[in-house]
Amino acid sequence: MAACDSGAENGQEPNEEALTEAAKTTAQAFVDGDAAKFYSFMHDSFKQKCSLGEFTPSFQIVRSSYGEGIVDAEVKVIEVRVDGNQGFIDGDIYFNGRGIGFDDDDPNDITDDQPEDSWLWEDGRWWMGAFNPNPAPCPAS
């Protein structure tokens, strides 16, 4: 299962190699339009607020807003930093001559007000969404 690729085989301590692989895998899942794979990297605290069924339509809307050119995108990790059990990724998905940051969910917003994507190391792997108290891709309750 792809979700297991996020760190356990790289040792039981948080490390940059496992974080890089997890970030690349989720970015590629976005490019591929694979909401389930992307969601499998979301932390349980995110999943408690946003089910896969709620997440998938919003994921597909955001992804489709980038157009068909995204299928030929290239995933690049620019910088990786680990601080205890928290990890930070700065990376882009390049297509059609431009890059979108891993943390950018609006194709019309060219500012980068949050240059890093935050991850949490827990249970021997890296997770996204642990630091987001209000998951944006889910319908408002």
Rounded to whole angstroms, the Cα distance separating 84 from 62 reads 32
Output phi, psi for 88, to 5 deg. Answer: -130, 135
List, as one string, the DSSP characters of 7-67. Answer: TGGG-SS--HHHHHHHHHHHHHHHHHT-HHHHHTTB-HHHHTTS-HHHHHHHHHHHHHTT-
Which of 2-6, 12-16, 89-93, 125-129 is least confident? 2-6
Residue 15 has pLDDT above 90, yes or no: yes
pLDDT above 90: residue 34: yes
Mean pLDDT score of the chain, rounded to an integer?
79
The pLDDT value recorded for residue 95 is 85
pLDDT of residue 130: 82
Q: Who has greater pLDDT, 11 or 54? A: 54
> What pLDDT sits at residue 101?
75
Distance of alpha carbon 21 from alpha carbon 99, whole angstroms: 19
CATH code assigned to 2-128: 3.10.450.50
- pLDDT, tens only, 61-106: 988 988 888 888 899 898 999 999 999 998 888 887 777 776 544 4
Q: Check residue 7 and give its pLDDT.
A: 44
